[in-house]
């Protein structure tokens, strides 16, 4: 068993203008380790006055940060990357402690979080504009990119380090300044990242952290000096943030929830398909926005997939993710556990066949935390709530279809469009799937189709609100304004 970096992080503070300050709060919330239910920190529920102070600091810092040459801004990010590498294992263990995922999964998240710092360090190239000499006789035109000012970045609980890092390094690299509002359920990894950013020499006020919940978010959305918002969370909150921030005249990008389907064709390679599906459905206890939720088997793919998936779910070892032999951890909270178990009850009521039922996991004396236990439903029908709504827990549904066309029809009928995967040996089937399916992330024989930092991470339908996605070039577009200069010399 690996050890925790710290057993308790005490009362967290906000980072404003380079100082960790005692916050003005409406209350404090316990941060729990979901695998043990032990309290590991207290997070401040900051008021608008904290946000106002942070935005004022960020606005002031912008004046000099935007004048810092991109090459020098990039050097600070290289330094941050080096520090993050040095503390790689600490990040991973902290993520396990606050989130409950397995250590392997937390290492994967840490790697992805760092990769975004690496890519953003290429800003002298990424931020270049373009030009054309002689657009008319003796006249030259040049498009340049400039930072806008202060951005608010609001994260979800399920990737405490990686998701805010889809935005933070790029916002800073382009010369903007930020106020980050981490998830109040998992605030530790971003707190550590901000400490290292200071150590890396990123100047005071460039990166500020304000902990809290709705009040802090609303204060960011309403603040006239916040020029834009990057948000990731559930669809109802994403829609709210998108509407409110746009009404305030800000640029906004909001990632929302998901319901991801995995299609198994009769010619799929069974062993690798099941491995991929297991990782997709039960990895992070189903709490990934790219998690597979419903498996559609086409034709005679059904029996093999059903039996092997059920077997895998029965054999998954549950426990605290710091034990390297554990295959699945808990869900994040009692509320999340109640929601997941509620969906399992609903599936039974709706008439689906619960072929793997490990709900009793929470009665296991060795598992003190919020363990939902993997469940598998067979006989799932498209109109059922378990087939349409985001469960965000370790519950798989199996649905049958006679053809790829029918399977695609079920996916297209969903309100969400975050991810979808096909498992097949046929190039034709794969091509048809990627062409027709309305989802931001498509997997072909890949269960978790997570774009790397130099590709955009987005979604479609209710899974994304906005035009420009996270990561890579698209997020550089989001964080810059384009200006065209036309010049003539007499």
From the CB of residue 11, how many other CB atoms can be counted at a distance below 10 Å? 12
88-107 positions binding ligand NAD, by CB under 6 A? none
**Which CB, 49 or 315, lies closer to ligand NAD?**
49
- Establish if 188 lies at the interface with ligand NAD (CB under 6 A): no
Q: How far is CA 310 from CA 25, 234, 254, 306, 330, in A?
A: 47, 29, 35, 6, 19
186 vs 273, which CB is nearer to ligand NAD?
186
Query: Which listed range, 151-159, 195-203, 340-348, 478-486, lies at the site for ligand NAD (CB under 6 A)?
Result: 151-159
- Min dist CB 233 to ligand NAD, Å, is 3
Q: Of residues 31, 171, 173, 213, which one binds ligand NAD by CB under 6 A? A: 213
Calpha distance 234→309 (Å, rounded): 27
91 within 8 A of 84, measured Cβ to Cβ: yes
Contact 352, 386 (CB under 8 A): yes
Residue closer to ligand NAD (CB basis): 29 or 476: 29
Q: Of these, 150, 232, 298, 429, which contacts ligand NAD (CB under 6 A)? A: 232
Strands (E), 186-338: 207-209, 226-232, 251-255, 260-264, 292-298
Q: How many residues line the site for ligand NAD (CB under 6 A)?
A: 28
- Residue 289 is a catalytic residue: yes
Residue nearest to ligand NAD (CB): 233
> 34, 152, 164, 255: which one contacts ligand NAD (CB under 6 A)?
255
Site membership for ligand NAD, residue 184 (CB under 6 A) = yes
Helices (H) and strands (E) in the chain, counts: 17, 22
3-state secondary structure of 421: strand
Whichever of 159 and 343 has its CB closer to ligand NAD, that residue is 159
Query: What gap in Å lies between CA 128 and CA 144, rounded to an integer?
Result: 7
Q: Does 370 bind ligand NAD (CB under 6 A)?
A: no
Instruction: Report if residue 392 touches ligand NAD, rule: CB under 6 A.
Output: yes
Of 148, 210, 277, 289, catalytic: 289
User: Of residues 151, 157, 282, 479, which one binds ligand NAD by CB under 6 A?
Assistant: 157
Residue 482 binds ligand NAD (CB under 6 A): no
Least distance from ligand NAD to the Cβ atom of residue 290, Å: 8
Kindly identify the residues of this chain, within the stretch 401-440, that bind ligand NAD according to CB under 6 A. 418
Strands across the sheet containing 480-488: 130-136, 139-147, 480-488
Tell me the C-alpha distance between 263 and 302, whole Å.
11
Q: Check the CA dihedral 425-446-253-114 and report its sign.
A: negative
Residue 236 in contact with residue 212, Cβ under 8 Å?
no
Q: Is 163 in the site for ligand NAD (CB under 6 A)?
A: yes
Whole-angstrom Cα distance, residue 451 to residue 163?
12
Candidates 258, 263, 337, 448; binder of ligand NAD (CB under 6 A) is: 258
Question: Which of residues 154 and 476 has its CB atom nearest to ligand NAD in the complex?
Answer: 154
Residue in this structure with the two tokens 């992080």, named with its chain if needed: 9
Per the CB < 8 A criterion, the answer to whether 97 and 87 are in contact is no
Positions in 308-367 near ligand NAD (CB under 6 A):
none
Write the DSSP assignment of 19-75 as a string of letters. Answer: EEEPPPEEEEEEEE-TTT--EEEEEEEE-HHHHHHHHHHHHHHHHHHTTS-HHHHHH
In the complex with ligand NAD, which residue's Cβ is closer, 109 or 378?
109
The reply on whether position 46 binds ligand NAD by CB under 6 A is no
Q: Choose between 81 and 99: whose C-beta lies nearer to ligand NAD.
A: 99
Q: Which is nearer to ligand NAD, 213 or 430 (CB)?
A: 213
Taking Cα atoms as reference points, which of 162, 219, 199, 206 lies closest to residue 25?
219
Binding to ligand NAD by residue 257, rule CB under 6 A? yes
Residue 381, CB-side half-sphere exposure with 13 Å CA sphere: 9
233 makes contact with ligand NAD (CB under 6 A)? yes
Which residues partner with 78 through β-bridges? none
Catalytic annotation, residues:
289
Residue ranges in contact with ligand NAD by CB under 6 A: 154-159, 163, 181, 183-184, 213-214, 217, 232-234, 237, 240, 255-258, 289, 390, 392, 418, 459, 463
């Amino acid at each position: 068993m690996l050890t925790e970096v710290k057993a308790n992080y005490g009362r967290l503070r906000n980072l404003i203008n380079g100082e960790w300050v005692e916050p003005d709060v409406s209350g404090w919330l316990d941060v729990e380790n979901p695998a043990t239910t032990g309290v590991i920190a207290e997070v401040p529920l900051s008021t608008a006055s904290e946000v106002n102070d942070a935005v004022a600091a960020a606005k002031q810092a912008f004046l000099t940060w935007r004048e810092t040459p991109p090459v020098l801004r990039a050097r600070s990010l290289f330094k941050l990357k080096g520090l993050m590498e040095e503390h790689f294992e600490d990040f991973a263990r902290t993520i396990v402690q606050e989130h409950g995922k397995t250590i392997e999964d937390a290492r994967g998240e840490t790697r992805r979080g760092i990769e975004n710092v690496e890519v953003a360090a290429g800003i002298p190239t990424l931020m270049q504009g373009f030009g054309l000499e002689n657009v008319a006789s003796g006249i030259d035109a040049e498009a340049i990119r400039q930072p806008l000012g202060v951005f608010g970045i609001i994260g979800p609980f399920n990737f405490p380090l990686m998701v805010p890092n889809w935005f933070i390094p790029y916002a800073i690299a382009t010369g903007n300044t930020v106020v980050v509002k981490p998830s109040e359920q998992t605030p530790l990894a971003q707190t550590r990242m901000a400490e290292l950013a200071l150590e890396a020499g990123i100047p005071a006020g460039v990166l500020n952290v304000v902990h809290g919940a709705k009040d802090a978010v609303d204060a960011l959305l309403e603040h006239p000096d916040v020029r834009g918002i990057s948000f990731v969370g559930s669809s109802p909150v994403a829609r709210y943030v998108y509407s409110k921030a746009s009404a305030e005249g800000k640029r906004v990008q909001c990632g929302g929830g998901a319901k991801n389907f995995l299609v198994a064709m009769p010619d799929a390679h069974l062993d690798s398909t099941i491995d991929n599906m297991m990782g997709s459905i039960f990895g992070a206890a189903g709490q990934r926005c790219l998690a597979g939720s419903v498996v559609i088997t086409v034709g005679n793919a059904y029996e093999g997939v059903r039996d092997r998936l059920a077997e895998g779910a029965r054999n998954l070892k549950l426990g605290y993710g710091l034990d390297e032999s554990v295959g699945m951890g808990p869900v994040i909270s009692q509320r999340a556990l109640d929601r997941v178990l509620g969906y399992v009850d609903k599936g039974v009521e709706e008439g689906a066949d619960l072929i793997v039922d490990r709900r009793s996991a929470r009665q296991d004396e060795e598992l003190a935390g919020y363990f939902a236990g993997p469940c598998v439903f067979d006989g799932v029908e498209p109109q059922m709530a378990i087939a349409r709504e985001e469960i965000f827990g370790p519950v798989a549904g199996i649905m049958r279809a006679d053809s790829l066309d029918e399977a695609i029809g079920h996916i297209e009928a969903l309100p969400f469009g975050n991810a979808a995967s096909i498992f097949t040996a046929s190039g034709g089937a794969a091509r048809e799937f990627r062409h027709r399916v309305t989802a931001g992330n498509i997997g072909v024989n890949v269960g978790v189709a997570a774009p790397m930092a130099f590709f955009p991470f987005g979604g479609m339908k209710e899974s994304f609100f906005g035009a420009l996605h996270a990561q890579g070039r698209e997020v550089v577009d989001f964080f810059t304004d384009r200006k065209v200069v036309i010049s003539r010399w007499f």
